[in-house]
Amino acid sequence: MSNRKTREISIGILKIGGSQPVLLQSMCATKTTDISATARTAERLAEAGAGLVRVAVDNKRDAEALREIASQTAANLSVDLHENYRLAELVAPYVKKIRYNPGRLHYVEPQISWKEKVRRIADVAAEFGCALRVGVNCGSIDPEQLSRQDTRLSRQDTQLARQETRPDNREKCSDGQDSLQRDCAVDSVIDSMPLLASALEHSAFLDSLGFMNYCVSLKSSDPATVICVNREFAKRRPDTPIHLGLTEAGLPPEAVLKSRAALEPLLAEGIGDTLRVSLTVPNDRKQEEIQAGRLILDNVARGEILTPERLPQLLKTRLNIISCPSCSRVENGVFVELAERIREASRFAADFPVTIAVMGCRVNGPGETDNADIGIWCGASQANLKRGKTLVGTFDYEEIIPRLLEELRAKIKNSCDS
């Protein structure tokens, strides 16, 4: 591992960054209002080696439950607020860290600027001694960043593609996207731009407030993009601690391989101060996320680095199923089983380069499924089926797998015919 050093930040008595070892994290997938189940999960994860356990809070009832959870576990708790910035003051006394999502802040009280919202979160964090995480996610990108980048890309993508196919030209780039273009494939560059811009914008704003006790995560479901965007962020913000993760990694064992391919190359370069491996597993198996995190750290220490280029050979399938790890927000309890059944039912398509996204709720569901060939995101009693960005329909849970298989067969037939 290289000795790249970020600034040290405090998460209660824990520290990350600087010379600290990489901290492993996980997240409860129970309903936050199920206080005893969530407290038990947090304890189990802490015993398995999670330095920090995240809990989602979306409303005042969740916030009240969190207070009780904190009294029933000695685990270090972090809270996932996404856009619910007004809840920060209710949860801050009980947690060590607050995560907000820049891409979701726009959806609540749009008349208030994101800067006002972040200022309020940072003030509360400073008052209660909490750290912050700016959690940027490819499934919920700041819409303003997306439209800015779309405009920019329409001018640049032809040029980027040309440079990518002519490696001798890549070293000659001279504008601000230099290193992105040199180090990454075109798809990863394009996917990285809005993530990177959003993370840089929020880091600069927190700096301007004088709030420095924060880290940043830039997550995508594509290992090559995770590498590309984190390398670039680390280059531009060498001081800022980074939380690493491959979002929507999916079901193990494939998800562990994909997470290894995303995180091991970065850690070997000294990039990453804390990490979470996201696995689509039932709540009582969540400690597997910690085991996978430890495997990654051990591999890096031994110099056994898995890269994205070697993934296809190990996965033995070209069909890519991405799925979220689920959390308190999951809208139907059958979600994990649904993802497993979809993997089984679609094995016949292993030779085809098709991406299927299976998501637990509306937070990242609509955005993440946009990038997949076929997507499902769960509602309370029905699931939404998409073909790319287009909604095919909303179906009962008994119907959804046959309908998805129809889409998959049609997709394969079209690609064979064309």
> Where on the chain is the footprint of ligand SF4 (CB under 6 A)?
324-327, 329-330, 359-361, 363-365
CB closer to ligand SF4, 104 vs 237: 104
Cβ nearer to ligand SF4, comparing 99 with 329:
329
The nearer residue to ligand SF4, 90 or 330, going by C-beta atoms, is 330
Sheet of 390-396, strands arranged across: 320-323, 355-359, 374-378, 382-387, 390-396
Nearer to ligand SF4, 24 or 57 (CB): 57
Nearest-angstrom CA–CA distance, 158 and 155: 7
Nearest distance in Å: CB 300, ligand SF4:
26
Rounded to a whole number of angstroms, the minimum distance from the CB of residue 54 to ligand SF4 is 10
Distance of closest approach, residue 325 Cβ to ligand SF4, in angstroms: 5
Residue nearer to ligand SF4 on the CB measure, 237 or 329: 329
Give the nearest distance from C-beta 38 to ligand SF4 in angstroms: 14
Smallest gap from Cβ 28 to ligand SF4, in A, equals 11
Residue with Cβ nearer ligand SF4 (203 or 323):
323
Cβ-contact 275, 22 below 8 angstroms:
yes
Question: Cβ closer to ligand SF4: 156 or 247?
Answer: 247
Q: How near is the Cβ of 256 to ligand SF4 at its closest, in Å?
A: 17
Q: Do residues 271 and 316 touch, judged by C-beta distance below 8 A?
A: no
Task: Rank residues 30 and 213 by Cβ distance to ligand SF4 and give the closer one.
Answer: 30
Least separation in angstroms between residue 332's CB and ligand SF4 is: 10
Residue (293 or 365) nearer to ligand SF4, CB: 365
Quote the least distance from Cβ 417 to ligand SF4, whole Å.
34
SS (H, E, C) the chain: CCCCCCCCEEECCEEECCCCCCEEEEECCCCCCCHHHHHHHHHHHHHHCCCEEEEECCCHHHHHHHHHHHHHCCCCEEEEEECCHHHHHHHHHHCCEEEECCCCHHHCCCCCCHHHHHHHHHHHHHHHCCEEEEEEECCCCCHHHHHHHHHHHHHHHHHHHHHHHCHHHHCCCCCCCHHHHHHCCHHHHHHHHHHHHHHHHHHHHHHHHCCCCEEEEEECCCHHHHHHHHHHHHHHCCCCCEEECCCCECCCCHHHHHHHHHHHHHHHCCCCCEEECCCCCCHHHCHHHHHHHHHHHHHHHHCCCCCHHHHHHHHCCCCEEEECCCCCCCCCCCHHHHHHHHHHHCHHHCCCCCEEEEECCCCCHHHHHHCCCEEEEECCCEEEEEECCEEEEEEEHHHHHHHHHHHHHHHHHHHHHC
In the complex, least distance from residue 377 CB atom to ligand SF4, rounded to whole angstroms: 7
- Residue closer to ligand SF4, measured from CB, 327 or 338: 327
Torsion sign (Cα): 229, 233, 236, 238? negative
In the structure encoding, which two tokens stand for residue 87, read together? 């809840």
| Least distance to ligand SF4, CB of residue 363, Å | 4
Q: Residue 369, Cβ neighbours under 10 Å: how many? A: 28
